[in-house]
Structure 1
Amino acid sequence: MVRKKQTTWMHRNSRYVIAGVATAGLLLSVGCLAKGNTTLSGSAYIRLAGLSLPLLGAIAYGLMGALAIGPVLTKNKALEGPTWLGLFTGSTAMVIFSGYLLYVMFAVLQEPCVPCILSALLTLGLWGLTLVGKPWDDLGQLLLPGICVMMITGLITTGLHAYASNPDTFSSQGNAPQVTTTSGESEIALAQHLSAIGVKKYGAWWCPHCHAQQTLFGQQAFEYIDYVECDEAGVDPQPQACRAAGVQSYPTWEINGETYAGVQSLQTLATLSGYSGPQNFTNQLPNHQ
């Protein structure tokens, strides 16, 4: 006589628990998106198909939450099997990618990211819940899909690392977007003043906020700015200088020994740097939020 498997509390409520963990991960990712660009979040080592790390995380957690709670909301028993397999393969891919993320964080960028570490723990939790949350007939049935996911995710992360390490081998994406605005006399005078007193601007080639800052100065004036590229995939990168300056987000200005994060209006830069020249700035602060 075949003994029926015992159904535990976890088996009955696992989808709710998984959905809760996925929601926590989604909120964490959205919070990172709202905070803006950080050293790690948009690094070329992490960006996949042009999407930054927080956006990738939000998409992944959203899908996991939908797979978990979908059959419960629709009361469709036919979705039970496929969604459990989707939860397992999805969480497996997320665990592998999180491992790669931790490697980049500590071994390559040497820039700890607390939200990223929390996300990795949540991801590991999701993976564990998919294993214990369903009374699998045989855990061996997960071996083949698990190996396939590991191979695919491994190839993707290997490709990301290879591209970020040698961007010129693949394309010319290490170059920042061209600045198309023109500079007036006031913008040029301010840029020359900032350069003369040793002001530095730290940023990354992929950062939209950095491009917005450059747009304020215009093409001619920004040539005078002492710009430090923080991403390894950019042109003439200086990540060690960025770490030494304590740069946490882009852009960051270093003026008279003090750092100021975020896009700054030209009037603000003039005040912070003690600039007393003409201030008839023609370019206005764009909506960069």
Structure 2
Amino acid sequence: MVLSVHGHVGRCSFVSIQLTAAHSTRLLASCRSLNRRALHAKTSTKSASDRRCRKIQCTGFPDQQTSTSGRQDTQQSISHSDRYRRGQKGMPYKLISALALGGTALTAYLAVSKLSGAPVVCLASGGCGSVLNSEYATVFGIPLSLLGLGAYSAVAALSIRGILSQSSKTPVSQYGVLAGGAVLASCSASLLYVLLTRFEGEACTWCLTSAGLSFGILAAACSGFSRRQLQDVAPQGGGLIAATILFLSLAWSGIDPQGAEAVYDIPYQAATVTTQSSSRGEQLAKRLNDAGAKMYGAFWCSHCHEQKEAFGSQAMKDFPYVECYPDGFHKFDDLAKQCKDANIQAFPAWIIKGQTYSGAQSFDKLEKILDSQ
């Protein structure tokens, strides 16, 4: 039997070949076997290539590994620096500086009043004198308002530094305002506890205002940190707060709660002028009296007594003096009406023809004022 085969099978092509049936069967079987080997070789080559690619992707070449490691270290370093920059940019330095400057002004007023012995104006009923003049207003002999002035000033300086150097990578201002806020807030919390437990029924406007400023600074400073950063500094912050409270507790440990303000319940006792008057002093006292001048003071004010001593005992009969605490210094007592109407803020205070002059004045200054009127 003879077949005429035309066409192709896989890679075997033949045209017009005269074959017998047996030859044709063997040829077809050989072509199919060749096709299977070719397909298997192609598949094996592709699998080996895929394995090599996967191995390179997983391990990389040595130079690629070094490059990848360097990039990771660089990214970690950049991430570490960016964390501080993001904290600084997010810190509300302007708000903190405003609060700190307000606290600086408040404590400066209280410190000057404390050091000069001048009365403090209180907007709340009942007055603030018994709180601000109590033993709790000092720490180891230093006025607490003076320490507060230093703390508020430091926070204000750091916040202004943060405003002026936003691009700085150093977190000095960032952590400085946080530490300052923690100290101020813990101190205010201690004072509020004393106010509630030792001075029941008395509202101290200045104390409450300072507490509000302190807590505001701390809250604003915390808002400039991420939660992770706050968790990182929590042990140090807790230690700082505990140290502040412990410091105040030690300073106030010897105070008798029942007698903390007893020293400021002072009965009136006029100080005696013992110096001799000069002719100039007597004449000047008479001129001041004739001009309607007044010197406002308090019986417990040492500077007021020194001013009287400068004029001498003989000049006292014409000396234009007004006592602002004629009934003594007592809790909840306010200034005498005449002093209050004159808006006296410090002792001694001279009012000569409508002009106020704070502090003790020399003879030359008083004569010059009288001559210029």
TM-score category, normalised to shorter length = 0.5 to 0.7
Matched, 1:30 2:108: yes
Q: Does 1:19 align with 2:97?
A: yes
TM-score, normalised to structure 2, is 0.46
Partners of 1:105 and 1:259 in 2: how far apart?
30
Q: CA deviation at 1:105?
A: 3.0
- Choose the corresponding residue for 2:187, options 97, 103, 107: 97
> Which residues in structure 2 correspond to 1:128-139 (within 5 Å)?
128-139=219-230
Alignment of 1:170-209 (within 5 A): 182-183=274-275
Q: Partner of 1:159 in structure 2? A: 250
**Shift of residue 63, structure 1, vs aligned partner:** 0.6
In structure 2, C-alpha distance between the alignment counterparts of 1:77 and 1:136, rounded to whole Å: 22
Percent identity reads 18
Whether the 8 Å CA contact 1:26–1:61 is kept in 2: the answer is yes
Q: 1:154 to 1:227 in 2, by over 3 A?
A: farther
Answering whether residue 205 of structure 2 is matched by residue 114 of structure 1, we say yes
1:77 counterpart SS class: coil
TM-score, scaled to structure 1: 0.57
* 1:87 lines up with 2:177 in the alignment: yes
**Higher helix content, 1 or 2:** 2
Q: Structure 1 residues 103, 286: CA separation in 2 closer, same or farther (over 3 Å shift)?
A: farther
C-alpha distance in structure 1 between counterparts of 2:141 and 2:253, whole Å: 16
- Say which SS state the counterpart of residue 64 (structure 1) adopts: helix
| Alpha carbons 2:158, 2:176 under 8 Å: kept | yes
Structure of higher RCO (CA pairs closer than 8 Å, 6+ residues apart):
1
The CA distance in 2 between the partners of 1:182 and 1:76, in whole Å, is 66
- Structure 1 counterpart of 2:101, one-letter code: T
- Rg larger in 1 or in 2? 2
Shift of 1:59: 1.6
Matches within 5 A, 1:38-77: 38=120, 39=129, 40-74=131-165, 77=168
1:100 and 1:229 map into 2 onto residues whose CA distance is 30
Distance, in Å, in 2 between the alignment partners of 1:142 and 1:181 is: 61
Deviation at 1:123, TM superposition (A): 0.6
Instruction: State the shift of 1:83 in Å.
Output: 2.9
Q: Partners of 2:170 and 2:274 in 1: how far apart?
A: 57
Could you say if the C-alpha distance between residues 42 and 140 of structure 1 is closer, same or farther in structure 2, counting changes exceeding 3 Å?
same
Q: Quick one: distance in 2 between partners of 1:46 and 1:263?
A: 20
Q: Number of matched residues?
A: 221
Change over 3 Å in CA distance of 1:211–1:129 after alignment to 2: same
CA deviations over 1:31-75 (Å, ceiling 9, x no partner): 445664442334321223544343332221111112222144245
Shift in CA distance, 133/149, structure 1 to aligned 2, threshold 3 Å:
same
Distance 1:142 1:265 in 2: 50
The gaps in structure 1 that reach 5 residues or longer are 167-178, 186-200, 204-209, 231-240, 247-251, 269-283
Coordinate RMSD, CA, aligned? 4.7
Kept in 1: contact 2:185–2:211 (CA 8 A): yes
Give the C-alpha shift of residue 13 in structure 1: 5.2
Secondary structure at the residue paired with 1:145?
A: helix
